[in-house]
Structure 1
């Protein structure tokens, strides 16, 4: 089976896993998320923004790296979705925060999806720079490279495990702010791995995704810093 086919399979698996994570959270007795916006215009804004961001930033990164073509980026999708939703909320006067329920689906979706990037090999342009470390991987050009896709997958899987443990303990702070915690972890770990990728720089040694990672981390920190004090977000069933 070719790398493109494996990538497509893991893309589907990522969506299914993310959906299963969301379903599992919804089935936890007494668990309630703040600001669960489910109206279709909100969902449409999220999907549209994520799609535009994925292709815009993915393709721009190719251009800055001296390559032609069209590409997608999960980080671009996150940035585009965030911008679209914040604009939608501003336009409709929505002050409540609506991202809490997306924390675990986002983390497990990226963790699974990045395995597909790893399986896709050189064609995916997500591989790392050459390394002499024993876990370096040959993606087909006889050069051992950092498997940065797996680094990212592992980082988000660790966050997902932390998040699940906190939710099972009914940690109100993590439940209310989980999405911003997930974004902060994603932005910081992605910023670190970008030093191990062969992308073209934009400013000094920093690539487009370095800058995007910092922007996402800064957004997350700002939201966490201004978060209202967490309240008890669950109700125990009567004995």
Structure 2
């Protein structure tokens, strides 16, 4: 099976595993999340923003790195989805925080999907810079490189384990703010791994994805800093 087919297979596996993770939390583990927005315009804004962001930032990074063509980016999809949803909520006067139930699906989806990026090899342009470390991987060009895809996969899998443990203990702050915790971890770990990728710099040594990582982490930190306290959550639910 070639790299593109493997990548497509893992993309499907990522979506299925993300869906299964969300289903397990609510249906099997019995976790009750804060009220979410399920209106079709909201969902449409999320999907549209994620799609535009995925191709816009993925392709832009490709061009900034001196390459042509189209590309997709998980981080671009996250950024586009966040911007679209926040704009939709602002436009319709929605103050409700709507991401709580997406924390585990996000972490699991990234953890599984990045394995597909690793399996796709050089064509995927997600490989790392050369390294002499014993776990370096030759993607087919005779150069041992950082398997940064697996670094990211392991980081998000570790978050998923810690998150599930906290949620099963019914930690209200984690249940209510898990999505922003996931975004914070994602942004910070992604920022670190970007130093091990051969992408074209934009500001000093920082690449486009460095900047997106910082933006995502800053957004998550701001949302966590302004999160309602558990008592306020109970009062809002009772009202």
TM-score, with normalisation over the residues of structure 1? 0.96
Q: Distance in 2 between matches of 1:231 and 1:75?
A: 33
- 2:62 matched to 1:100? no
* Matching residue of 2:218: 218
The secondary structure found in structure 2 opposite 1:211 is helix
The secondary structure found in structure 1 opposite 2:72 is coil
* Matching residue of 1:174: 174
* Count of aligned positions: 234
The secondary structure found in structure 2 opposite 1:192 is helix
Higher helix share: 2
Report if aligned partners of 1:172, 1:231 keep a CA contact under 8 Å in 2. Answer: no
* Matching residue of 2:10: 10
The secondary structure found in structure 2 opposite 1:202 is strand
Q: Distance in 2 between matches of 1:60 and 1:138?
A: 26
Matched ranges for 1:151-190 at <5 A: 151-190=151-190
Report if aligned partners of 1:137, 1:144 keep a CA contact under 8 Å in 2. Answer: yes
In 2 relative to 1, CA 233–29 (structure 1 residues): closer, same or farther, beyond 3 Å? farther
The alpha-carbon deviation at position 26 of structure 1 amounts to 1.5
Q: Distance in 2 between matches of 1:31 and 1:126?
A: 35
Q: Distance in 2 between matches of 1:91 and 1:207?
A: 32
The secondary structure found in structure 1 opposite 2:98 is coil
The alpha-carbon deviation at position 232 of structure 1 amounts to 9.7
The alpha-carbon deviation at position 231 of structure 1 amounts to 4.5
* Matching residue of 1:49: 49
Q: Distance in 1 between matches of 2:111 and 2:31?
A: 24
The alpha-carbon deviation at position 82 of structure 1 amounts to 0.2
Q: Distance in 2 between matches of 1:58 and 1:99?
A: 24
The alpha-carbon deviation at position 28 of structure 1 amounts to 4.2
The secondary structure found in structure 1 opposite 2:94 is coil
The secondary structure found in structure 1 opposite 2:202 is strand
Matched ranges for 1:30-41 at <5 A: 30-41=30-41
* Matching residue of 2:237: none
Q: C-alpha offsets along residues 11-54 of structure 1, whole Å, 9 cap, x if unaligned? A: 00000000001111111465221131111111100000000000
Q: Distance in 2 between matches of 1:57 and 1:29?
A: 36
